[in-house]
Amino acid sequence: MPRYALKIEYHGAAFAGWQRQSGQLSVQEAVETALRKLEPDAPGIAAAGRTDAGVHATGQVAHCDLAKDWDPFRLSEALNWHLKPNRVAILTAATVPDDFHARFSAVERRYLFRLLSRRAPATHEAGLVWQVQHPLDTDAMRKGAAHLVGRHDFTTFRSAMCQSASPVKTLDEISVEAIPVPHGVEYRFRLRARSFLHNQVRSIVGTLERVGAGAWGPRDVAGALAAASRAACGPVAPPQGLYLTSVGYPEDPFDR
């Protein structure tokens, strides 16, 4: 059976997350339902990351096996037709080798978290950012974030429901950017690693927000990390500000 990689964008608000769940609409179910409009016996698909309820994606990657030899462009167009009215889009599709796996072949994942600081409620960005009303200290958040870069035991920033075999991960990069917007500032946190623990990004951002607000000092982040205890973590940021933006592979499956 030919194997195809799919680059997927979705608005997470209406979904119970990526993974198929009984009685709740998931992104996986929406895509698999569209695939079975094309081939009723199409097997299930696998994705690079299992995003939580409310989390968005601009560069999720999944793979599927189909009986027919599809032209990748026609496959993406057909899937987008059948995905309506769900807020899910196949950005592009590509034929890949049989040993390509969207999850296990990945060598890096990149996430973006958007945090809006302003008094007036978000209108156009509602559901797409985490909004706070108080100002934040960008330099302090950068100093706090610096303690997290590298290989560490991230137990403090790991959900109790995390199924990863080990809490030890390598965070390759974390940056904090402040962008002026009308009557406020949008803070963009970008994180890059081979893989992440469940709720790791949201836990880190929630903790850094406390640093930016002045409730924590930058060195308190190092102390929380060293504690290796979930109780030492700051509040977990809500899901609506989080985006899976890209997945990296040894060879880009879409650049062929």
Using alpha carbons, list the distances in angstroms from residue 173 to 41, 76, 169, 223. Answer: 41, 32, 12, 19
The DSSP-derived string for 110-139 is EEEEEEEEESSPPSTTTTTSEEESS---HH
Among 52, 99, 153, 220, the active-site one is: 52
Catalytic residue list contains 172:
no
- Distance between CA atoms of 152 and 68, rounded to whole angstroms? 45
- The contacts of residue 36 (CB under 8 Å, 6+ apart) are 42
The residue whose two tokens read 């079975």 is 36
Among all residues, which ones are annotated catalytic? Answer: 52
